[in-house]
Amino acid sequence: MTQAVPSITDPALLGDGGTLTGRKPLIEIRNVSAGYENKRAKTRLIALRDVTLEVYPGEFLAIVGPSGCGKTTLINMIAGFMKPLEGTITVRGEKVDGPSADRAMVFQDYAVLPWRTVYNNVKFALENRRPRPNKDELATRIAKVLAMVGLSGFEQSYPYELSGGMRQRVGIARALVSDPEILLMDEPFGAVDAMTREAMQAEFEKIIAETGQTVFFITHSIDEAVALADRVVVVSSRPGHIKEIVDIDLPRSRFAEGVKSNPRFGELREHIWGLLQAEALGAKIGGAGV
Amino acid sequence: MTTVQPAPAKPDEDVSSITEAITRSRWAPFRSLIITVLNLTVFFTIWQLIALAEVINPLFFPKATAMFSAIYTGFADGIIGPELWHSVQNFTIGLIIASVIGIPLGLLMGGVRIVDLILSPYVWAMAALPRVALIPLLILILGFGNSMQLTIIVLSAVFPMMVNCMEGVKTVDPSLIRAGRVFGANGPQMYFKVILPFTLPFVISGINQGIARGLVGMLIGELLGGGGEGLGFLLDRAGDQFDAPMLYGTLLILAVLSVGLVQGMRWVERRAAPWRDQSRV
């Protein structure tokens, strides 16, 4: 268990971006630039330029932007897969230096191990780091998290026997089972069909209300960002930088109350769409995708 | 559009309701077997008829029945048995040696860049070089004995195994590696829990190719090595003696042997990595 910060489940913090200021951020991204070197051309593609962003405990933060805007680069740096060229990323004041138990990740392509059953895929998140929970605790925790994502009864199924949406449920269960402080999600519902996607968003909102993780959520769907997040960070592309941070002042729980018919939802959606549309036109003129 | 259904299915009913019994003909399980038997019967009958008509010189094209009786008497008189045993033994030992060398080395080449850089020019050269070209050199070094035959089997089988294992490690899905890192796998854990299971189908197909190449190696060793033993020797002698039924009989034994091995390995492949068939959507 990694709960060093007791405040992350504080209900007063959830769902209200306005009261977060003045609190100590959980993730601090300070003047971060990132890029990829092209060794042959001896050039460097700048993916992100001078990004500064704070993520507060218990917050659901969505990053939305066109493809190639460096969203994935940002999440990879927070996960600890790559380092920024400039600037620093800290989690609870400590500089990010590789992956760690307080940050779990859900991948767009699920990244479940195809040779393991659902049960053993979830177990994977608990069996590598020390101390390892004992067998009974392992079983209880896995059963609990599988029930949470609606996979009870599928323990012994293999991923290839499951649909895309169910595979991603395995991915979410695996990320939640170790009870990490931060959940990094890289377009988690991007590869599932539209109907499943909406159902999974609704379920996910419920799950997160229960578990209280801080969520760093990447998406290219404005609807998804507005429906789920407390704040939406709009990122423009080439090189990616933050265009605007939009507070989503919609009440929870949103899916239960039919958030998409709320006029405020439409306004927020329009606003973000406006920000990105200028961007999309610019990108078209700018040419080639990465 | 505004209401959201509680999508997660209650598994108990769901699992049972999506599988339903399929009723098939009683003969269905045997269908492919029956077809194969019929197919072979027709094949050998036509063969027999052509041979009986003597359209082709019987010296080159014996009757099918003559071939079968040559196989039968060959086994009964102890002509085929020991040679078959010699070949199988050599082949098995050679393949084991090739696996023991080739698989770990291939995995190492895939995982450790410096090993790859050092070994790959030799591996690729040896993998590409037709094995027959090595026979004169091997005879020079090892003489006409068994060790030469064994060496050629090992050399034939080892490189396809290495190359496949190496490619397997190199093609590990990068997002599985990232998942491994996120969930705390250290070096050995990553290797044993992510990389090796992913590579397993490649290892098996390496063994498959090793078997195919090893059979060729076994035969050229026995045919050209002058060791006086093995199925290759049997072929060679039958040819020298214009013993067409024996020649065809030995070929049939070899064909059965290789088909058996290849099918056996396919079976192993399906068992070892069932996700390979369905998972790539």
Cβ within 8 Å, pair A196-B7: yes
pLDDT value, residue A5 = 43
B1 band by pLDDT with thresholds 50, 70 and 90: very low
pLDDT at residue B260 above 70? yes
**Prior bond of A7 cis (ω within 30°):** no
Name the β-bridge partners of B132: none
Residue A189: the pLDDT is 92
Helix/strand/coil for A242:
strand
Mean pLDDT estimate for chain B: 85
ipTM of this complex: 0.83
Per-residue pLDDT at B3: 47
User: Which whole number is the average pLDDT over B181-206?
Assistant: 91
Give the residue from B248, B239, B233, B241 showing the smallest Cα distance to B68: B248
Q: Describe the crossing of helices B64-76 and B80-111 by its angle, rounded to 10 degrees.
A: 90
- Rounded Cα distance between B97 and B100, Å, is 5
The conformation of residue A240, written as its DSSP 8-state character, comes to B
Rounded distance between C-alpha atoms, residue A55 and residue A57, angstroms: 7
Distance of CA B132 to the CA centre of its chain: 19
**Cβ atoms within 10 A of the Cβ of B224, count?**
18
Left, alpha or beta for A242 (phi > 0: left; psi -120 to 50: alpha)? beta
Give the whole-number percent of chain A exceeding pLDDT 90: 55
Share of residues in chain A with pLDDT > 70 (%): 88
Residue A10 has pLDDT above 50, yes or no: no
In this prediction, residue A168 has a pLDDT band, given cuts at 50, 70 and 90, of: very high
Segment A44-54 shows an average pLDDT of 87
Q: Does residue A165 surpass a pLDDT of 60?
A: yes
Q: Predicted confidence band at A11 (pLDDT cuts at 50, 70, 90)?
A: very low
CA distance A176 to chain B (A): 11
Cβ–Cβ below 8 Å for B273 and A199: no
- pLDDT of residue A76 exceeding 90, the answer is yes
Nearest to B174 by CA among B201, B205, B195, B204: B195
Q: At what angle do helices B244-272 and B196-224 cross, to 10 degrees?
A: 170
Average pLDDT over residues A54-70: 89
Q: What are the domain boundaries of chain A? A: 6-102+181-187+205-286, 108-179
pLDDT, tens digit, for every residue of A19-36?
Answer: 445 678 899 999 998 888
Contacting residues of B for A164, CB less than 8 Å apart: 281
Band the pLDDT of B111: cuts 50, 70, 90. Answer: confident
Q: Is A190 on the interface with B (CB under 8 A)?
A: no
pLDDT tens digits, A191-227: 888 888 989 999 999 999 999 999 999 998 999 999 9
State the pLDDT at residue B18: 56
pLDDT greater than 80 at residue A56: yes
Residue B181 has its nearest CB partner, among A99, A112, A154, at: A99
Record: contact B5-A128, CB cut-off 8 A: no
Mean pLDDT for A243-251 is 91
CB of A232 within 8 A of CB of A226?
Answer: yes
A contact residues 240-269, partner B, Cβ 8 Å cutoff:
255-256, 258-261
Looking at the complex, report in whole angstroms how far the Cα of residue A289 sits from the nearest Cα belonging to chain B: 21
Interface of A with B in 69-108 (CB under 8 A): 79-81, 98-99, 101, 103-105, 107
Lowest-pLDDT choice from A12-26, A49-63, B259-273: A12-26
Q: Rounded to whole angstroms, what are the CA distances from B273 to A8, A164, A170, B6, B203?
A: 42, 20, 20, 34, 11
Mean pLDDT of chain A: 85
Residue A111 CB partners (closer than 8 Å, separation 6+):
A171, B173, B175, B176, B178, B179
Instruction: Pull the structure tokens for residue B98.
Output: 């090739």
Q: What is the pLDDT of residues B48-63, one digit of tens each?
A: 898 888 888 878 888 8
The DSSP H or E segment spanning A182 is strand A182-186
Res A188 pLDDT > 90 = yes
Q: What are the tokens at A142?
A: 């896995």
Q: Which of B25-29, B185-189, B227-231 has the lowest mean pLDDT?
A: B25-29
Nearest to B211 by CA among B131, B153, B250: B153
Residue in chain A nearest B175 by alpha carbon: A111
3-state helix, strand, coil split of chain A in percent (to 5) is 40, 25, 40
In whole angstroms, what separates CA B73 from the centre of its chain?
Answer: 29
Q: Residue A54 is inside which H or E element, if any? A: strand A43-55
What is the rounded distance in angstroms from the CA atom of residue A80 to the CA atom of residue A82? 6
Work out whether strand A27-38 and strand A103-106 pair parallel, antiparallel, or are unpaired.
unpaired
Query: Distance between CA atoms of B175 and B16, rounded to whole angstroms?
Result: 33
Tell me what the mean pLDDT of segment A65-93 comes to.
89
- Closest residue of chain B to A122, computed from CA coordinates: B183
Which band of pLDDT confidence, cut at 50, 70 and 90, is reported for residue B276? confident
Q: Enumerate the domain spans of chain B.
A: 90-172+198-269
Q: Does B1 touch chain A (CB under 8 A)?
A: yes
Alpha helices in chain A (DSSP H): 71-79, 118-127, 135-148, 164-177, 194-211, 222-228, 263-286
So what's the pLDDT on residue B267? 87
Q: Does B176 touch chain A (CB under 8 A)?
A: yes
Q: Work out the number of other CB atoms within 10 angstroms of the CB of residue A267.
A: 11
Judging contacts by C-beta atoms under 8 Å, the chain B residues touching residue A124 are: 179, 183, 193
Mean pLDDT of B94-99: 95
| Mean pLDDT along residues A68-86 | 89
CATH class, domain A6-102+181-187+205-286, is alpha beta
Question: Is A51 in CB contact (< 8 Å) with chain B?
Answer: no
Closest CA to A201 of A172, A162, A159: A172
Burial level of A193, CB count in 10 A (0-12/13-18/19+)? exposed
Which among B173, B178, B183 has CB closest to A124?
B183
Q: What is the pLDDT of residue B21?
A: 67
Q: Please check the confidence at residue A166 and state whether its pLDDT lies above 70.
A: yes
Mean pLDDT of A234-238: 84
3-state secondary structure of B195: helix
Looking at per-residue pLDDT, the higher value among A249 and A68 belongs to A249
With a cut of 60, say whether residue B280 has pLDDT above it. no
